[in-house]
Amino acid sequence: MKILTLNCGSSSLKYKLFEMKTNNVLAKGQADRIGLTNALFSHDLQGREVFQNERRLADHHEAVRALLSFLTNKEQSILKDINEIAGVGHRVVHGGEHFHQSVVVNQAVREILEATKKLAPLHNPPNLMGIDVCTELMVGVPQVAVFDTAFHQTLPPRAFIYAIPYRYYANDHVRRYGFHGISHRYVASRAAKILRGKIDNPRIITCHLGNGSSLCAVAQGQSRDTSMGFTPLSGVVMGTRSGDIDPTVVSFIAEKEKCSLTEVMDVLNRQSGVLGISGVSPDFRDLEKEAAQGHERARLALDVFAYSVARGVASLIPAIDGLDALAFTAGIGENSPKMRRRICSFLAWLGVALNEDINSEDTGEREISARESKITVLVVPTDEEKIIAQETMEVLQQDKRAEKNRF
Separation CA 209–CA 39 (nearest Å): 26
Give domain status of residue 257, yes or no: yes
81: exposed, middle or buried (C-beta count within 10 Å: 0-12, 13-18, 19+)? exposed
Q: Are 328 and 378 in contact (CB under 8 A)?
A: yes
Low-confidence ranges of the chain (pLDDT < 50): none
Q: Report pTM.
A: 0.87
- Report the chain's terminal Cα–Cα distance, integer Å: 24
Same domain, 215 and 325: yes
Residue count (the chain):
407
Same domain, 117 and 224: no
Give domain status of residue 169, yes or no: no
Per-residue pLDDT at 137? 87
Say how many domains are in the chain: 2
Q: Pick from 84, 118, 147: which residue ends a domain?
A: 147
Separation CA 397–CA 390 (nearest Å): 11
The SS3 of residue 301 is: helix
Same domain, 22 and 122: yes
Same domain, 228 and 318: yes
Helix axes 296-316, 284-292, angle to 10 degrees: 130
Which residues, 6+ apart, have CB-to-CB distance to 389 below 8 Å? 3, 5, 16, 18, 20, 89
Give domain status of residue 359, yes or no: yes
CATH number of the domain to which 7 belongs: 3.30.420.40
Give domain status of residue 390, yes or no: no
Give domain status of residue 73, yes or no: yes
Same domain, 227 and 367: yes
Give the distance, in angstroms, between the CA of residue 240 and the centroid of all CA atoms in the same chain.
15
Give domain status of residue 358, yes or no: yes
Q: 305-320, pLDDT tens digit by residue?
A: 999 999 999 999 999 9
Per-residue pLDDT at 249? 96
Separation CA 54–CA 33 (nearest Å): 10
> Considering 32, 59, 81, 148, which one is annotated as catalytic?
148
Give domain status of residue 168, yes or no: no
Enclosing domain of residue 207: 200-384
Q: 28-53, pLDDT tens digit by residue?
A: 988 887 877 677 888 888 766 677 77
148 given a catalytic annotation: yes
- What is the per-residue DSSP string for 21-32? TTTEEEEEEEEE
Per-residue pLDDT at 406? 59
Give domain status of residue 161, yes or no: no
Per-residue pLDDT at 44? 85
